[in-house]
Homo-oligomer: A and B are copies of this chain.
Amino acid sequence: MNKFNPLLYLVTDRGLAKGRPIENIVEQAVNGGVTMVQLREKDCTTLEFVNLAVRLKKILAPFQVPLIINDRLDVALAADADGLHIGQQDMPYVIARKLLGKNKIIGFSVENIAQAREANKMDVDYIGLSPVFVTGTKPELMNALGLEGIREIASFSKHCMVAIGGINARNAGDVLQAGANGLAVVSAIVSADDPMMAAREIRQEIDKFIKT
């Protein structure tokens, strides 16, 4: 099993960055306590995606914060990223593992209880539970798992569980209490006026929970 700290997992979305360079937001967020970063880009060329991944890897290296690429195994390989996050409609897990090798982190999105049970058959490094709460980032996912869903999946899943969807400083403790091992955040950091402060606030809530 690959080692990583999933506590506060930033997932990028340039569309929510209010025109600011995503590199700056990532760097500020890491300074605020983000422990892991996922680069998620849907509307750019492969060349832009690779170049952005290479730049982020350089920014993250001194912090020893892993860079995970969403969906695109080619970009992960090209940038020698630390891992890949795949969804239900992405590269099949078995192929991704074969191509990336055992030393890369692979995360897998599950959107309901049945998918979480299915994921128990795979040796993924973590599962992303999505969405915990309904959010504007992925309006197509209407059925939120809720805290109840997190609790249920936590009762049987063998995997490290990262929750995503509508998570912020106010509900962070509740989501961890329900069983999540880490919190993935998009808009609460990417859209924040001060991404470092936004990350720090969520991180403080996480640290408060861990200490109790």
A residues whose Cβ falls under 8 Å from a Cβ of B = 45-48, 50, 71-75, 77-78, 88-92, 95, 99
Contacts and interface: CB of A to CB of B under 8 A. Distances in A.
Contacts of A91: 46-47, 50, 74, 78
Nearest to A91: B46
A175 B119 CA distance: 53
B92 A47 contact: yes
Contacts of A99: 74, 77-78
A89 B72 CA distance: 16
Interface on chain A toward B: helix, strand, loop, or mixed SS? Answer: helix
Q: How many copies does the complex hold?
A: 2
B92 A50 contact: yes
Given A50-B95, A95-B50, A45 B89 contact: yes
23 contacts: A45-B90, A46-B71, A46-B72, A46-B90, A46-B91, A47-B89, A47-B90, A47-B91, A47-B92, A50-B91, A50-B92, A50-B95, A72-B74, A73-B74, A73-B78, A74-B75, A74-B77, A74-B91, A77-B99, A78-B91, A78-B92, A78-B95, A78-B99
A37 to B, nearest CB: 20
A100 to B, nearest CB: 10
Between A46, A50, A89, the greatest number of chain B beta carbons within 10 A of the residue's beta carbon is seen for: A46
